[in-house]
Amino acid sequence: MTSLAEVWPPFGLTLNTPRLTLRPVLDEDIASAVAAARSGIHQPGKSPFSMPWAELPDDELAPNMAQWYWRCRANFTKESWTLLLGVWNDDEFLGVQDIGAKNFSTLKTVSTGSWLKQAAQGRGIGKEMRAAVVSFAFDYLGAEVAESEAAIWNQQSLGVSTSLGYETNGIFRHAWGEKVEEVQGVRLTPATFKRPDWPLKVQGNEELKTYLGL
């Protein structure tokens, strides 16, 4: 029987770190992602996301998350793609680490975003999963720059960035709904990357690269 990864190559990507498995969120994983989000991601009223999706009422959160996973897959092209990788420790779904790019063949730049359920935060997992996708981007996709951003008050996210060697890359005023939010851009290159002391295990990268035209 044809596997899902043969149907759509990004589904075949798996990254393994000492504690974590990162792989695309499949339909059968969406309920686990919703349960993790419902368990709490951030302090109420203090959304770290430009769209405060994690605070949606219960009956809207699940369909909103499902549609976001489907939209990212449906809109995936060589020119503009976002890969949403679920993060597991054994069988426990902890959160999502995304990586994406626009015009990657020219710019060789990826951007990332992530969340973890609160019970999994503050144990170095955010750092481990970001290190995984950044190592993958530099070493397997040939990225030259990895960018990220976070509200200037988001010490957890900026803590991950600083700890991996990202440098600050400007503060921007963004409209988050009707509110102005000051957002800190950060930027990492292979030269500034404070590499983890563990090897990343990667599966399915050749098929993904072919699909991306790299």
Ligand X SMILES: CC(C)(COP(=O)(O)OP(=O)(O)OC[C@H]1O[C@@H](n2cnc3c(N)ncnc32)[C@H](O)[C@@H]1OP(=O)(O)O)[C@@H](O)C(=O)NCCC(=O)NCCS
Q: Are 77 and 212 in contact (CB under 8 A)?
A: no
200 Cβ contact list (under 8 Å, min separation 6): 15, 16, 17, 131, 132, 135, 136, 139
The answer to whether 41 contacts ligand X (rule: CB under 6 A) is: yes
Nearer to ligand X, 11 or 69 (CB): 69
- The conformation of residue 25, written as its DSSP 8-state character, comes to P
Nearer to ligand X, 78 or 123 (CB): 123
Instruction: Compute the distance between CA of residue 47 and CA of residue 123 in angstroms, rounded to an integer.
Output: 21
CA 91, 93, 95: angle at the middle one, nearest 5? 155
Binding residue count for ligand X, defined by CB under 6 A: 23
Q: Which of 64, 156, 169, 189 binds ligand X (CB under 6 A)?
A: 156
Q: How far is the CB of 25 from ligand X (least distance, A)?
A: 16
Q: How far is the CB of 49 from ligand X (least distance, A)?
A: 6
Nearer to ligand X, 129 or 208 (CB): 129
> Could you list the residues that contact ligand X (CB under 6 A)?
41-42, 48, 95, 113-116, 121-127, 150, 154-157, 159-160, 163
